[in-house]
Amino acid sequence: MVMNTILEIIIIILLAAIIGLFFLGLSRKIMARIHWRYGPPIAQPVIDIIKLFNQTSMSHGKLFNFGIIFSLSGSVVVLLFLPLGEMCPLSSSGGLLVILYCMLIAPLGLALSGGEAANPITSIGISRKFLLAFGYELPLLLILLTVMTHFNTISIVDIVNMQLQTGWSFQHLPLLLSGIAYILILPAILDLRPFELIQAPQEISSGPMIEYGGKFLALATIQHAFNVFISLSLFTNLFLGGAENPGYFFLKMLIVFIILLFVNAVTPRFRIEQAIKFLWRWPALLAFAGLIIVSVTG
Amino acid sequence: MDRNKLGKWLQSPGKMGQKYSLHALYFCTGCGIIEIPPTITARWDAERFGVIPVATPRQANLFLITGYVSVKTLRPIIRSYEQMPEPKFTVGFGSCPINGGMYWDSYNTIKHLDKYIPIDGWIAGCMPRPEAVFVAVTHLWTLIDKGMADGYKKYREDYHYYRENQEKILGKLEWPPLFSSKKM
Amino acid sequence: MVNPVLLIVIPLGLAFVVPFFGFISKKIEKFIPFVALFFNLIVSLRLFPRVLEQPVHVSIGGFVPPFGINLVAGPIGILFTVLIALVGFLVSIYAFDYIKEKDQEKYHILYLLLLTGATGVVLTGDIFNLFVFFEILCISSYSLVAYFGDKTSIESAVKYLIQGALGSCLILMGIGLLYGQFGTLNMADLAGNIKSVHSVSIFVPLVLFITGFGVEAAIFPLNAWLPDAHSSAPSSISAVLSGIAIEVGLYAMIRVVFTLFGASSILTFLMLLGVITLLIGELCAFCQENIKRMLAYSSIGQIGLMLFALSIASSYGITGGLFQLVSHTLGKSLLFLAAGYMIYRSGSMNISSFEGMGKRMPYTALAFTIGAFSIVGLPPFIGFPGKLMIVKAALFEQEMLYTVLIFFILLATVIEGAYYFRVVQALYFKEEKNTQNQKREIAPLSILIPIFILTGFIVVIGIYPKLITDVLVSSASELLNRADYIKSVMP
Amino acid sequence: MNLIILLAIAFGGALITYFLGKISQKIRDIFAVFISLALAVIAACFYNVSSREIYYTGFLDFPFVLRVNTFSWFFAVTIAVIGLFSIIFSLNYIRKRGNTDFYYSMMLLVIASMIGIVLSGDLVSFYIFWEIMSWSTFLLISYNRGPAISAGMKYIIMSVTGSVVMLVGIVSLYLHYDTLVYTELSGLLNNASSGYILFIIILFFIAFGVKNAIWPLHVWLPPAHSEAPSPFSSVLSGILIKIGTYGIILLIFVIIQINVFLNLGEGILSVRYIISIIGVITILIPTFIALLQDDAKRLLAWSTIAQAGYIILGIAYGTSESVAGGMFHFFNHAIFKSLLFMVVGAVEYRTNGVRDLNSLGGLIKKMPVTFIGGLIGICGLIGVPLTNGFVSKWLIYKTLILNNSPFLAFAALLGTWGTILYSYKLIHNMFLGQLPEKYEKIKKAPFSMQLPIVILSLAIIFFGIIPGLPLHVINSIESGFGMEPLTINIWGIASDTGTINMLNIFTAVLVIGIMVWLIFKVSKKSTVIGQYDNYAAGTTVPKDKYNYSVNFYDPLCRMISPYLKDFIDDFYMSLARSIKNTGNGIRRIYTGDVGHYVIYIILFLALLIFIQINWELW
């Protein structure tokens, strides 16, 4: 039993790392192709990480180190709550609400780490990160509440299982609205254009990561990869019926991600107020409509 | 190109990583920077070599000094170079950093940049074309392979020399000498 | 066998011999009120148990009631006597060091006369006699208000005099009207004859009495003399005026309304008047910067509250009202005494001159704070049970009017809290601007002892109100049972 | 051990402390700590004891009833423990200030009266202790002088207003049911008309709402919390406002029974929904206002209001899970909010009274322990998993979602995200970023400040991992109220509708954290550099200027601040002004002209006679 769980945990983490890094590489490749470039190899993020681990690095203090560790472990812990087919090691520990809260840990860790770096640009990035999070959490909360109210459970495993019986969430009208809203906010969660405000290399020199070099940057990249996996996986589990089959699961995530990349490649980026206004207008409105329908009918 | 050969990767992943993931910091000191946009965008696409621009010296391991270096810009150059994590490589771009170029007799231009920071490679020309950058990058690969791209080691060993030269031009520097802080 | 007559005779007699003692030694003079009132205190306390069983009647000169002057020492009368004696006694101690002017003897004579008048008012059973004592009380207070002899005090004394004289005049007219109709001046006898106040011939004397006593009791709109008089009198006199004189006025009014006329129909009006008085008093006090005027307006408010409670005319109401009266007597005397000494030291009556007093005079400031908390009605001080009882009495009636009025009253309590807390903050939490006077000075014992004793009463009765509630309940029944009063005086 | 002895120790200790201070400061300090320690220990000894003591003290006709059961034990222990830590924290904080005897004795008096409130068994003694608490708090809030004076004024006026309104309710109850003892009172209201119950609820709710800073009654709290001495702020925020919570629980679950309460009104207009909605408003608006604050303590004060909203929401919603969540959140909030105030207090102490978030920064290098306390405190405040705030919030959200109140849940959750914003701002602007040069020589906080901070931080983690301990107590409270208890175990909750197991999460976080740390440790070592070796586009870092803390969330604040005028405060202030103007107007009646006064008297007389002759009213 315990061995089984440990095995599951290892598999999930490895799978998430591979898929996440693959998606990062893919994103660079696809972006390059859209730009009519040849582009780097798919494995370029892995190469980068290997290089970064081999570099020296500068640390600003204990919290600087702790923050990145905290952030990465937070991301990894979230993975354990997400069902991947039958596998969900922490299914009995609080459900979707815990995921919501654990997703906090990663930005908080980065923020703490960046905070000790004593660089104002880091702080600007962090401030933007939290503001943007505040912007997209409003629709996200509405979306998750719609789903939870619709299925009348807070356990994500139950939600996935119920979708196996009643079909994908997308087939139900209120959840369709929420799903669309979720797609609208996904770029903000993943820090893709038009919401690429946090790193914004041209403007605030990669924001919270500004003092990261060497292994710090490597861990941050891995964390980002996990973040990509988590967001997509959450969407897939909630709206696209989860992982009946690992292959399908991957495919669903891939399709959603590619859509996001196309948007990313062709759009400029919002200012932070514009981003918040957008997020509080359209996705929130859709999600709100969904929640009203659910709470009236359900 | 040898980037697909697994055997080499397994022998020295670190070195291969350094080779194929050159995160470049462009220091746009002068007109040379005009050649960089074509280099990294669709026309020449530097990213296929793993060369991408990054925003801060902390994330970079390739330092491109594009164009003439005035006395005023020397200080940021030194600062940025010292902030980069090791191993790090420097490439002087254009003739001005090499010997002053057309500003050879200017009173406030740095004529020999390698007196102040170690340079691993030069790209001569005024201006060098983007292809020259790729030549420089591939050359840098061979240097890395042979372990000859060791400017950062030289800087460490001969720090007094460099620091002396820097202070001769710039006066007393604000930051304390490097390589005195402890490891953790 | 102690006789209630002693309560009046001894102070009265001693008042007139003060100048003779003055010939012997100026220093002895100030002990005369002290001795007299100490005697009064002892006598009234001795009388207490006896009175609770059975009211004590004394016929002066042996004539039986309708014909002679008589004293009726019921529970309410003796309660007032004790209060008067207690506060008078403490204030006389306070005056040892506080009154330092040359012509002290006037002060002491008038002071004793004032208290004699007050004692007489509460003990007498004869309406004309009541008037006479009332005049003694009033006239001595006019003179005492003018004691300092400066322009403001004389001005306010004259104002007081004019209004008070008008009030007395009205009372006298009322007495005349009643005497003309019924041919008697004995309260019980009159009460036996008056069945209803409906007819104008009865109603007019009632209104004359209400107005006349209302002036002294400071009911709105008859109270305009009070802020001036209280603020310009010496603080010891302010304490007595505020703690005793207006309460005695209220007593006279209530006595007339309840016992003499049995006018239960006018009580609702009085109650509204009480609430209006309360609100106006508190609102005016709220924007005062002068500490003594503030306390004076606060007294108006408190009188309104008492009038409201007494006018409910249930056992609960009168008990509550009397409790509030006791608490106000103790609390307001304490406030005036404490404030008086601080004014004496700082030389200004402005609240801002009290800043930093908490450091300079810790004990006086502490006493002031406790008095203020008590007046606002915070436990564990004496004001709280009073407030509780009044709320209880009002809600007990289960009428909408009372519930609405009680909210107004509570609003007034909040306003009251606001200005008292302001002073407390000024005492403790504001730095004194004048840095030279940072020295800590402890008041002399003669100042501190009365203040401490009053504080002690406030705390002890606040924690253990049963000490006086029994007396209050029997006082209430005395006021309510008009027939019993008549029967006990004229068997 | 009798309850009366406990109270005697508490009140006597407060009194004696004052006089001991006249003898020796040191003895007084030790005595104060000893008394509060004794209170905590004795209070803790009453665990699982259920007893009543009745004394006929002669306070009118009311008996003086003391009672202890799990409900009051829970509150009493929290009060005593937080009180103890605040006193310990005060030792250094208050030493250099004037009037220290007064401070300690008032502090002990506040604690004593709060213990009195929770141990009292009838409403009159409840009220008496309540008022003692009010005025002693008033004196302590004003202690700092300056702006504290108006803060204290605001507090006491609102407090007195609330309590006089409550007095009407108490007396009304007494006149209806002839008793004020809880045990006799409970259940009597079952047969009352719903109008009367509503009347009682409104009256009591105003009083408790003032103390608990429920939304339209909260205006006293931000100035009071920010201007009071910091250790007392932690008492104020940690436990004193929770006395309001205690009152509300007492009202809903003891005086009015829960089933009566839940059946008041229908659907969205039912009382429980209305109070829940008020709770939600209390969460949302203060959360956003807290974002705009630049004063560390004022920020925390607004945050306190918001967290009180969670408690009210949980309790008023009335399912057994939400009530457990509310009560647990009370407990948690007591811990983390007093911790945060202590953290701010320690910084304030070392920087000589600076609590302006814009001028601090970088103190993590100088005060690491304080920083860790602050970090854990904000984690608890946000409700990061493995801190205690998480479980309580989780319970509230869960029951709101599963009982089909998603909008309430949404508002509560949104409040949490606002909490993240302002609490990160708090910790960032104080501890992170560049250290200004003037703070280079700052020392770390003294031991007496670090001790409570460390212990409370550990408590946050401890109760976050083992929520079963307090939940067990809460469970027995709930069964005492006649509610269905939760199914809990030591690590969390195991009901059918949703389980939470903190052990799993803890193990996962621990193992994964260690793994990541190992990866971090194994890879190349990093060089430690100082704050001036920083990326500034190649230039040297300007000292004192290279910090981003002013207007930390400027874009958002620009968007929301027009909507967040504190119009409630303005309303009260204009009310006060209009009362003052009315007073000034009425004062004109007393013109100073004696002729007018005579006319008043004559008019009064004439009017009465005229009325009687014409209408014969009397």
Residues 50-89 of A with CB under 8 A from B: 50-59
Cα(C131)–Cα(C256) distance, integer angstroms:
12
Residue D32 forms part of a structural domain: no
Residue with the larger pLDDT of the pair C248 and B4: C248
D98 has a pLDDT exceeding 80: no
What phi and psi values does residue C126 have, to the nearest 5 degrees?
-125, 130
Verify cis geometry, omega within 30 degrees of 0, for the bond prior to A194. yes
The set of chains that have 3 or more CB pairs under 8 A with B is A, D
A86 has a pLDDT exceeding 80: no
- B72 in contact with chain A, both atoms CB, cutoff 8 A: no
Of B52, B53, B87, the CB nearest to A55: B87
pLDDT tens for C210-267 read 888 888 888 888 888 888 888 888 888 888 888 888 899 999 888 888 888 887 788 8
| Burial of D575: CB neighbours in 10 Å, binned 0-12, 13-18, 19+ | exposed
- A277 in contact with chain B, both atoms CB, cutoff 8 A: no
Cα(D453)–Cα(D431) distance, integer angstroms:
15
Q: Calculate the average pLDDT of chain C.
A: 85
User: Would you state the pLDDT for residue B181?
Assistant: 43
Of D135, D149, D153, the CB nearest to C378: D135
Contact check, Cβ <8 Å, D504/A121 = no
Residues 312-331 of D with CB under 8 A from B: none
pLDDT tens for A138-196 read 888 888 888 888 888 888 888 888 888 887 777 777 888 888 888 888 888 888 888 88
- A277 in contact with chain D, both atoms CB, cutoff 8 A: yes
Relative to beta strand B62-66, strand B89-93 is parallel
Starting at the edge strand found earlier in the chain, the sheet holding D492-494 runs D488-489, D492-494, D499-501
Are A and C close enough to touch, i.e. 3+ CB pairs under 8 angstroms? no
Domain count along chain D: 3
User: Would you state the pLDDT for residue D199?
Assistant: 87
Are A and B close enough to touch, i.e. 3+ CB pairs under 8 angstroms? yes
- A171 in contact with chain B, both atoms CB, cutoff 8 A: no
* Share above pLDDT 70 across residues of chain D, in percent, rounded to a whole number: 100
User: Would you state the pLDDT for residue C456?
Assistant: 92
pLDDT tens for D145-166 read 888 888 888 888 888 888 888 8
pLDDT tens for C2-55 read 777 888 888 888 888 877 877 777 777 778 888 888 888 888 888 888 887 777
D349 has a pLDDT exceeding 60: yes
User: Would you state the pLDDT for residue D222?
Assistant: 87
Reduced to 3 DSSP states, what percent helix, strand and coil does chain A have, rounded to the nearest 5?
A: 75, 0, 20
Of D529, D537, D538, the CB nearest to B181: D529
Residue D139 forms part of a structural domain: no
- B50 in contact with chain A, both atoms CB, cutoff 8 A: yes
Relative to beta strand D62-68, strand D51-59 is antiparallel
pLDDT tens for A215-236 read 888 888 898 899 888 888 888 8
Which residues of D fall within a CB distance of 8 Å from A100? Answer: 413
Partnered with residue B27 across adjacent β-strands are B65
Residues near C197 by beta carbon (within 8 Å), at least 6 away in sequence: C203, C206, C261, C262, C263, C265, C266, D618
Q: How many CB atoms lie within 10 A of CB C200?
A: 13
Of B27, B175, B182, the CB nearest to D533: B175
Domain count along chain A: 1
Contact check, Cβ <8 Å, A41/B3 = yes
Contact check, Cβ <8 Å, D533/B80 = no
- B72 in contact with chain D, both atoms CB, cutoff 8 A: no
Contact check, Cβ <8 Å, B58/A213 = yes
Q: Calculate the average pLDDT of chain D.
A: 86
* Both structure tokens of C154: 């004389």
Query: Which residue does chain A place closest to D291, by CA atoms?
Result: A131
DSSP secondary structure string, C195-211? --S-SHHHHHHHHHHHH
The lowest-confidence range among C432-441, D74-83, D562-571 is C432-441
D538 has a pLDDT exceeding 80: no
Residues near A118 by beta carbon (within 8 Å), at least 6 away in sequence: A60, D362, D432, D433, D434, D435, D531, D534, D546, D547
- Angle at alpha carbon of residue C299, lines to C297 and C300, rounded to 5°: 65
**Same-domain check for residues D395 and D339:** yes
Q: Residues D255, D182: contact at Cβ < 8 Å? A: yes
Tell me the residue range of the domain where A247 lies.
2-297
User: Would you state the pLDDT for residue C64?
Assistant: 67
Contact check, Cβ <8 Å, B54/A57 = no
Cα(B106)–Cα(D126) distance, integer angstroms:
89
User: What's the rounded mean pLDDT across residues C175-185?
Assistant: 87
Q: Read off the pLDDT band of C65 (50, 70, 90).
A: low
User: Would you state the pLDDT for residue C484?
Assistant: 82
User: Would you state the pLDDT for residue C172?
Assistant: 92
The set of chains that have 3 or more CB pairs under 8 A with A is B, D
A94 has a pLDDT exceeding 70: no
User: Would you state the pLDDT for residue D457?
Assistant: 92
B183 has a pLDDT exceeding 50: no
Q: Which one, of C147, C341, C141, lies nearest residue C247 by Cα?
A: C141
pLDDT tens for C252-302 read 888 888 888 887 788 888 888 899 999 989 888 888 888 888 999 999 999
Most confident of A89-103, C117-131, D479-493: C117-131
Q: Residues D73, D39: contact at Cβ < 8 Å? A: no
| Burial of C27: CB neighbours in 10 Å, binned 0-12, 13-18, 19+ | exposed
What phi and psi values does residue A268 have, to the nearest 5 degrees?
-80, -165
Contact check, Cβ <8 Å, C208/D145 = no
User: Would you state the pLDDT for residue C432?
Assistant: 66
**Same-domain check for residues D280 and D327:** yes
C437 has a pLDDT exceeding 70: no
Which residues of B fall within a CB distance of 8 Å from D528? Answer: 181-184
Are D and B close enough to touch, i.e. 3+ CB pairs under 8 angstroms? yes
Total length of chain C: 491
**Same-domain check for residues D564 and D616:** no
Contact check, Cβ <8 Å, B56/A55 = no
Which residues of C fall within a CB distance of 8 Å from D160? Answer: 376, 378, 413-414, 417
Contact check, Cβ <8 Å, B174/D540 = yes
Q: Read off the pLDDT band of B184 (50, 70, 90).
A: very low
pLDDT tens for D576-598 read 889 888 888 888 888 878 888 88
- D615 in contact with chain C, both atoms CB, cutoff 8 A: no
User: What's the rounded mean pLDDT across residues D87-100?
Assistant: 84
Contact check, Cβ <8 Å, D535/B184 = no
User: Would you state the pLDDT for residue C150?
Assistant: 86
Q: Which CATH number fits domain B10-170: 3.40.630.30, 3.40.50.1260, 3.40.50.2300, 3.40.50.12280?
A: 3.40.50.12280
pLDDT tens for D106-116 read 889 999 999 99
Q: Best residue in A28, A29, A37 to probe B by mutation, most B CBs within 10 Å?
A: A37
Q: Best residue in C163, C219, C392, C432 to probe D by mutation, most D CBs within 10 Å?
A: C392
Tell me the residue range of the domain where D572 lies.
553-587
User: Would you state the pLDDT for residue C1?
Assistant: 53
User: What's the rounded mean pLDDT across residues A23-47?
Assistant: 87
Q: How many CB atoms lie within 10 A of CB D76?
A: 26
Reduced to 3 DSSP states, what percent helix, strand and coil does chain B have, rounded to the nearest 5?
A: 50, 15, 40
* Share above pLDDT 70 across residues of chain C, in percent, rounded to a whole number: 96
**Same-domain check for residues D296 and D339:** yes
Cα(C426)–Cα(C158) distance, integer angstroms:
33
The SS3 call for residue D387 is coil
Residues C405, C408, C410, C413, Cα dihedral to 10°:
-130
Which residues of D fall within a CB distance of 8 Å from A77? Answer: 505, 508-509, 512
Domain boundary at D447, D476, D510, which?
Answer: D510
The SS3 call for residue C255 is helix
Residues 81-100 of B with CB under 8 A from D: 83
The answer to whether the Cα torsion of B25, B28, B29, B33 is positive or negative is positive
Return the domain boundaries, chain B. Answer: 10-170
Which residues of C fall within a CB distance of 8 Å from D128? Answer: 379-380, 384
**Same-domain check for residues D160 and D283:** yes
Cα(C332)–Cα(C458) distance, integer angstroms:
11
**Same-domain check for residues D487 and D347:** yes
Query: Which residue does chain D place closest to B174, by CA atoms?
Result: D540
D356 has a pLDDT exceeding 70: yes
* Both structure tokens of C481: 């049972």
**Same-domain check for residues D256 and D397:** yes
Question: Minimal Cα–Cα distance from A134 to chain B, Å?
Answer: 26
Of C379, C403, C410, the CB nearest to D165: C410
* Share above pLDDT 90 across residues of chain A, in percent, rounded to a whole number: 0
- Angle at alpha carbon of residue C470, lines to C469 and C471, rounded to 5°: 90
- DSSP E strands in B89-155: the ranges are 89-93, 121-123
pTM here?
0.91
Query: Which residue does chain B place closest to A42, by CA atoms?
Result: B48
The SS3 call for residue A35 is coil
- A104 in contact with chain D, both atoms CB, cutoff 8 A: yes
* Amino acid, res. C86: L
Q: Best residue in C391, C399, C427 to probe D by mutation, most D CBs within 10 Å?
A: C391
Cα(C393)–Cα(C390) distance, integer angstroms:
5
Contact check, Cβ <8 Å, B76/D538 = yes
Q: Residues A75, A40: contact at Cβ < 8 Å? A: no
Contact check, Cβ <8 Å, D406/A145 = yes
Cα(A257)–Cα(A255) distance, integer angstroms:
5
C434 has a pLDDT exceeding 80: no
D397 has a pLDDT exceeding 50: yes
Contact check, Cβ <8 Å, A211/D534 = yes
Residues 8-67 of D with CB under 8 A from A: none
D3 has a pLDDT exceeding 50: yes
Of A37, A48, A211, the CB nearest to B42: A37
- D196 in contact with chain C, both atoms CB, cutoff 8 A: no
